[in-house]
A and B are shown apart, each in its own frame.
Chain A
């Protein structure tokens, strides 16, 4: 049975590979799905794409891990450069970054701070992290939203963590329903659909207008080869963690923790 998580990860990987060919040098990943997508992007022709996890850590032969304290450090990974290098890479437009905000709006503003409430949040979220810097930067930004709904895709965010990108900057949104592209002016355009999803479904579940350029929107299903590359990069399916329900996520996590435990340093 098809798992849409695979199609989403591959769609992201293809985009990253394209961007790498177009000059993007470093991919900053922020979760297991984006890490796996970057590993697949390397196998899709972007073999030189560097991976940044957090501040100043790159590369090696990263594999997804849960208990190392960072996503991707494994044998061969190397630290590189001072922490401030991260900000330079981002500002100079040499990076790509994947973020998963709680809300995204019609102007591509992002929110990872709070939902509702007046003086105090009704619902507190972790906090804005690097969104106030990366959203308007010259670097490539992808929004990876495991939930595509009117709850996550809103007319206006409750709190502006990342401000709307200025004219000329493009942003891409990847969800279990499809791929959308943002540009100031036209706004959001649907560029691809996940398998078995319709344009009407996307519009019904999005809280802002979605343009459709052509009569038929292409479907982005992962090919057999891409599924193989995915399995190779992420044999234990850690990419599913961000998409699964809490119980399944706990099970995947426990199994992986058990796998990692016997390998003492």
Chain B
């Protein structure tokens, strides 16, 4: 049964999230990042995380600022529409943490393999891309029927998925009206799914982007995505995002503040 917490003043993390877990973060760039959930992780002092954020931005930056990341998986991290993500850039250039680069297609294939209970899945990523060379979860195999070279992505099954959606209903169904990114895949592939929603309201269940059967807990928490957007309820706070980038990642208060 999905736990739906109305008018949450605080998001509570279940005990399953401990140091060393693999956390997947939904959203796309500066849209629908579950910042309140990420702050809760940081506040709880959880560290040594393997973080998966396909198209990351200030979610990744906040975790890097807290020193909570041991390993990062992403197809790209940038503060879209503003500039490069300073701590991500520094982390990659220093080699301080392990950063594994994926492509959108290969990471989606890895999550889909996880969701389907398969050991791996082929994907349309070019075998000649250097992303394949540098990623231990990607191998070039030979298709058993045609003999052609195809990239295979090893299954990824995150321990926890953190999502932010504009709407949820009282049953725990999640509704995304804009770009869903890979959020449904994250929900299918992850063992525990936590979500914040700007509002809990009545919606047509048939239109749900993620069915309640995948969701463990939803917290009604307006502005939980701040400073990222949550269409149609919340616009991205470009001033705050810009301040973060301009500070070179030194002004932690910019991201630590609630919405």
Contact = CB atoms under 8 A, between A and B. Distances in A.
Interface of A: 53-57, 66-70, 73, 79, 82-84, 87, 90-91, 112-114, 117, 119-133, 135-137, 159-164, 250, 253, 257, 260-261, 265
Contacts of A56: 179-180
B105 A130 contact: yes
A160 B129 contact: yes
A166 B94 CA distance: 35
B221 interface: no
A85 B102 CA distance: 19
Contact of A133 (B55, B101, B104, B233): B104
B137 to A, nearest CB: 14
A201 B94 CA distance: 38
B231 A66 contact: no
18 contacts: A54-B178, A67-B237, A67-B238, A70-B231, A121-B93, A126-B84, A127-B75, A127-B76, A128-B131, A129-B55, A132-B103, A135-B126, A161-B129, A161-B131, A163-B126, A163-B128, A253-B242, A265-B232
A88 to B, nearest CB: 10
Given A83-B184, A87-B108, A159 B130 contact: yes
Contacts of A91: 124
A132 B105 contact: yes
A73 B178 contact: yes
Interface stretch (B25-33, B40-48, B189-197, B250-258): B25-33
Interface of B: 28-32, 55, 74-78, 81, 84-85, 88-89, 92-95, 101-106, 108, 112, 123-132, 176-185, 228-233, 235-239, 242
B95 A83 contact: no
A210 B243 CA distance: 42
Given A70-B178, A73-B178, 4 more contacts: A69-B235, A83-B180, A161-B130, A164-B128
A129 to B, nearest CB: 5
A130 to B, nearest CB: 4
B123 to A, nearest CB: 8
A120 B181 contact: no
B235 A128 contact: no
A137 B101 CA distance: 20
Contacts of B108: 83-84, 87
Nearest to A65: B235
A57 B181 CA distance: 10
Contact of B93 (A113, A124, A136): A124
Contact of A128 (B103, B124, B237): B103
A124 B89 contact: yes
Contacts of B85: 126
B230 A69 contact: yes
A73 B231 contact: yes
Nearest to A160: B130
B239 to A, nearest CB: 7
A63 to B, nearest CB: 14
Nearest to A246: B83
A79 B74 contact: no
Contact of A113 (B94, B128, B130, B236): B130
Most buried by B among A124, A131, A250: A124
Contacts of B130: 113, 159-161
Given A79-B178, A112-B76, A87 B232 contact: no
A211 B88 CA distance: 40
B15 to A, nearest CB: 31
Nearest to A253: B238
Contact of B129 (A55, A163, A253): A163
A75 to B, nearest CB: 9
A159 B128 CA distance: 11
A67 B229 contact: yes
B77 A123 contact: no
Contacts of B78: 126-127
Contacts of A87: 105, 108, 124
